Structure 1
Amino acid sequence: MTPRQPNTSFDQLLSQLSTRLINSEHAETQTCIAEAIAAFGAYVDADRCYVFEFSEDISSMSNTHEWVRDGQSAHIDDLQGVTSGDLPYFFEQMRRSHQFITNDVGQLPANAENEKAEFQRESIKSVICIGLVANNKLLGFVGCDMVHDTYQWSEEDIRHLSLVANMIANTLEREQTYQKLIETQRQLEEANSKLQALATIDGLTGIANRRALDEALEKEVKRAKRQRTGIAVLLIDIDHFKSFNDAYGHLKGDEALKQVADALATIMQRSTDFVARYGGEEFAVIMSTDSAWQALRKANEILDAVENLDITHERSDTDPYLTVSIGGYFEVPKADAEVAGTIQQLLNNADMGLYQAKDDGRNCIRFY
C-alpha cells in the first residue's frame, strides 16, 4: 500500500466533503454520498469503499453505495437484503460497538464462520466498518476493504473514517427526515382529498350533495356562457314520501332514497350530466343540452325508471308504487348574464315546474 498523505491533506479533504454534503440539494444527496466514499477510498488507497443502510430494526442491511478501485470486483448487486441470520457475528458487533474492524479476516473467531466465508468470497483480507449514527440511532455503516494484502488499521484510520461516517450519517438523517416530510405531506394531501370528497358527497345515497350541486351549477353556467350552449335543471321530488316513511319506517325510506339515487345516476351518465341530492326526498339534475326537448326526454326516462323500481307504496294517493314528480327548466345563458342570478333563475324556474307537477296530480313532468 502507498503511504498516507499528511493530516493537513485529510483535513482539506474533510472540509471539501463536508461542504459538498452540507450544501447538497435533495436530488444530489445520493450522488454526493457516492462522491464522498470515492474520494475517501482513493485517499486511503483502499480497494473498496461503501455504505450500507440498516433496516429500522437492524435485522437486515443493503449496500446502497460502492466505490471500487480499477480492476477490483463490485459486489453491490449481490449485497442486498443481507440479514442478521446471514452474518450474526457482524450484526452483533455493529449493534454493540458500532464498529467492525479486522486486520486479518483469517484471524476472525470461530463464531464468525459466516463472516469469514463471505469475506473470502469477496477476496477481502482486511476490513473496517464504522457505524453511521445520528440522534443515537444506528442507520448503517461506511466501510473500506483491502483485497490484495492484509492491513493494520491505525487509530488515525479509525478517526478519519469516523469523521466521514459522521458526515454521511447526518446527511442520511437529513434525507430520511426529508422523505418522512414528503410522506407526511402526501398523507395530508390524501386525507384532505378524502375530506373534500366527503364534504361534497351525500352520506346516505353516495351521490353529490347540495354543496357540490352549487359548485357544479356555477361551473356549468360559466361554461354555457362561454360556449353559448344550453343548460337544463331538473328537480325531482319523491311523491308522498312522508306517508311512505310513516307506513314502512325510516330504514325503508332510506333504502328507497338510495334506489332512486342509483336510478338517476344510471340514466345520467354523460360527463356533462350531474346528479345530486337536493335535500330530503328531492334530487337535482344538471344537463348540458341543446334543447328543452332533450331534457324532457331524460326526465321521462327518470319518471319511468323510478316507477319500474317497483317499490310498493300503498299509502300513496298517486300510484301503488313509489313515483316522482319532476320540474324542469331550460335556458341558454346570455354572454353578459350574471352567474349568480342565472343560477338562481335556473333553480327557481325548475322549482316552479315542480310545483306545477305536484299541483297537476304528481307522477308527471312540467317544464316552466
Structure 2
Amino acid sequence: MKKHEALSIFRQIPSSILFKCTDSSEVYASQYFEKSFGIIDAKAFESRAITFFDQKSKREVAVGENPFFLVETGLQVADYFRLQTSSRTMNCFVEGEFVYTPTCDWVVLHIKTDITGLLDLSKKDSQVNKHITFNQLLTNFSSKLINADVNDLDSIIDQALAAFGTFCDVDRCYLFEFLEGGELMSNTHEWVAAGVTPYIDELQNMPANSLPFFMSHITNGLFKVDDVSTLPESASLEKAVFEEQRIYSILCSRIMVEGTIYGFIGCDIIGAPYSWKAFDIEYLRRIGEMLGNTLQNLHNRKALQKMQIELLEANKQLERLANMDGLTGLANRRLFDATIKDDIVRCKEADLPISLLLIDVDYFKQYNDYYGHVAGDNVLKRVAETLSNSCLGNDDLVARYGGEEFIIILPGTDSDALECIAARVLRNVSQLSIAHQKSKIKDILTVSIGMACFNSGKSTKQNSVENECYNATSFIEDVDSALYRAKNSGRNRTSF
C-alpha cells in the first residue's frame, strides 16, 4: 500500500481522526473530523493551526506532552484536551494508536467530542453524569449566592461562568452590565477557553444604541444566533462586530433587577456555526436568574443599610440637638452636667487637676433693654465664639450655663494655667469692642469670671475642698462663689 493510498483510506474513515506519518511533521484529518470542526473546505485545513491545550490550566501543552509525540514514543494516550483548529475549538477526549503499513508507520489520534457516549451511563464522564454534576454545581452556586456579599460576588460569578463555559464547550462566557440608565454597557466578567482571545478590556462603556438589533431582542429576554452569517440586513452593525471577533454563534439572556433590565449573561462560539441546544439556553437562563436574584438581594440589603445609616445619623443629630444650645451652638446645661461628673472621676483616677471657669456678661440685662433682644442674642453668639477660641485643649468643654452665663470645663489644667486662660478670656472679650453705653464700668462689653481648681494630689489655696469626696455639686458651688466675689469686687475681673 502506497502512502497516498493510505492517506485516502484514512480520510474516508467514518470517525473523527487526526493522523501523521512518523517520517513527517505534516498532520492530516479525516473528512468526519473536518465536519465536526466546521472545516468546510478541505484545502483550507492547516495542520500548523492544530494546537492542544490543557483543559484545566488552559496552557498549550509542551512538545513532550503532545499526543502525537507521546504515541510516537510508545506511550499510551487516553486523556482530555482542548483542541484548537483554524475553524473551531472544542473539548475532546483523545486516544492514540500506531498503525503499520508497508510504506509508512502512522500515528492516529481518535478525537471524541464530549457528546460521545451520551447514553453510556457506565462511563464516569458520560454526558448524563455531566448534566447531573453541572446541576449540582448550579445548586451550589445558588446557595452561595443567597448569602453572598459584595466581596464574594465577583468570585462566584467567575466560577459560574467558567462552569457553564466548560460544560457547554463554548469559547467565551461573559456578563455585561447596563450603565447610565441603559445608555452604556460594560463587560464586567469574562471567562475564555484555552487559546481564545479575551475582549473584556475593549468592551467597556459601549453605547447601547450601537447594537440596535441586539438590544431589541435582549430587552425581550433572549438573543440567540446559531449562524451569524444568516443575520438580516437590519443587524449589519452587530454582524460587523461579531465577524471582527470571529464569532459564529452567540447566545445571551437578560438579567432583571427590580423589574428593570440590569444587564445580560452571554456566550459565543468562534470559528464555526453551532446549533444551540435547549439545555444551553436553559442553563444560561438559570444562571442569569440566579445572578438577578442575588443582585436584587444585594440591592435590598444596601437599601436597608442606607436606611439604617440614615437612621443612625438622624439619631446622632437628635442627640446633638438635645445636647446643644440652640442660640450659640455651644454645649447646653444637659451636656455640661453629664460631662463634669465624668471628667471629675477621670481626673481623680489619673491624678490630674481639673478646673472650671464661670463667665457672666456684665450688665447684660441693661444691654438687652437698651439695644434690644436681637442685639442681645448677637452679643451672646459673639461671646460664645470668643470663649471657644480662647480654649485650646482637646478635652475642654465650653457650655452655655443659662441666660448670659457660660461655663468652661478644663481637664488637666492646674491653677496657674487657669489664671492665664481666664486673663485671655477677659482680654479677648474686651477686644471685641462691643459698645455698651449702659455699662456702669466701661463703655464696651465686659465679663466677670469665677475660677475653681481641684487637684486631689496637691493641697493649695486654690483647692476649695481638699478631700476625696469632692464632687460636681461642690465644684460648681465653688466656682459660683468665685464669680460672686468677682462681681462684688467691681466686675470685669477674675477671682478664685
| TM-score normalised by length of structure 1 | 0.90
Match of 1:18 in 2: 139
Which secondary structure state, in structure 2, belongs to the residue aligned with residue 78 of structure 1?
coil
CA RMSD of aligned residues (A): 2.4
Which secondary structure state, in structure 2, belongs to the residue aligned with residue 71 of structure 1?
coil
Q: What's the % identity of the aligned pairs? A: 37
In structure 2, relative to structure 1, the CA distance for the partners of 1:127 and 1:200 (3 Å cut) is same
Which secondary structure state, in structure 1, belongs to the residue aligned with residue 214 of structure 2?
helix
Residue identity opposite 1:357 in structure 2: A
How far apart, CA to CA, are the structure 1 residues paired with 2:129 and 2:291? 21
CA apart distance, 1:36: 0.9
Residue identity opposite 1:155 in structure 2: A
Which residue of 143, 153, 161 corresponds with 1:29? 153
Which residue of 316, 321, 339 corresponds with 2:444? 321
CA apart distance, 1:284: 1.0
The answer (yes or no) to whether the contact 1:18–1:167 under 8 Å persists in 2 is: no
The structure showing larger relative contact order (alpha-carbon pairs under 8 Å, at least 6 residues apart) is 1
Match of 2:486 in 1: 357
Structure 2's unaligned 5+ residue stretches are 1-89, 91-112, 119-126, 458-465
The answer (yes or no) to whether the contact 2:341–2:471 under 8 Å persists in 1 is: no
CA apart distance, 1:336: 9.0
| TM-score normalised by length of structure 2 | 0.68
Kindly provide the CA deviation profile for residues 230-259 of structure 1, in whole angstroms up to 9, marking residues without a partner as x. 111001011111221121122211211111
The answer (yes or no) to whether the contact 1:21–1:29 under 8 Å persists in 2 is: no
The answer (yes or no) to whether the contact 1:48–1:145 under 8 Å persists in 2 is: yes
Which secondary structure state, in structure 2, belongs to the residue aligned with residue 318 of structure 1?
coil
Residue identity opposite 2:227 in structure 1: D
In structure 2, relative to structure 1, the CA distance for the partners of 1:133 and 1:197 (3 Å cut) is same
In structure 2, relative to structure 1, the CA distance for the partners of 1:196 and 1:107 (3 Å cut) is farther
Kindly provide the CA deviation profile for residues 313-359 of structure 1, in whole angstroms up to 9, marking residues without a partner as x. 11122221111111111101479946xx6122221211111122222
How far apart, CA to CA, are the structure 2 residues paired with 1:183 and 1:77? 32
Greater helix content: 1
Match of 2:471 in 1: 342
Match of 1:223 in 2: 346
How far apart, CA to CA, are the structure 1 residues paired with 2:258 and 2:411? 60
The answer (yes or no) to whether the contact 1:21–1:32 under 8 Å persists in 2 is: no
1:108-257 equivalent positions in 2, closer than 5 A: 108-134=231-257, 136-257=259-380
CA apart distance, 1:114: 2.9
How far apart, CA to CA, are the structure 2 residues paired with 1:186 and 1:280? 36
* Number of equivalenced pairs: 364
How far apart, CA to CA, are the structure 2 residues paired with 1:209 and 1:111? 73
CA apart distance, 1:207: 2.6
In structure 2, relative to structure 1, the CA distance for the partners of 1:210 and 1:20 (3 Å cut) is same
Residue identity opposite 1:210 in structure 2: R
Residue identity opposite 1:342 in structure 2: N
In structure 2, relative to structure 1, the CA distance for the partners of 1:133 and 1:253 (3 Å cut) is same
Q: Greater CA radius of gyration, 1 or 2?
A: 2
320-329 vs 159-168, greater mean Cα deviation = 159-168
CA apart distance, 1:283: 0.9
151-160 vs 185-194, greater mean Cα deviation = 185-194
In structure 2, relative to structure 1, the CA distance for the partners of 1:148 and 1:257 (3 Å cut) is same
In structure 2, relative to structure 1, the CA distance for the partners of 1:76 and 1:191 (3 Å cut) is farther
The answer (yes or no) to whether the contact 2:437–2:444 under 8 Å persists in 1 is: yes
In structure 2, relative to structure 1, the CA distance for the partners of 1:159 and 1:269 (3 Å cut) is same
The answer (yes or no) to whether the contact 2:435–2:444 under 8 Å persists in 1 is: yes
Structure 1's unaligned 5+ residue stretches are none
In structure 2, relative to structure 1, the CA distance for the partners of 1:59 and 1:235 (3 Å cut) is same
The answer (yes or no) to whether the contact 1:14–1:164 under 8 Å persists in 2 is: no
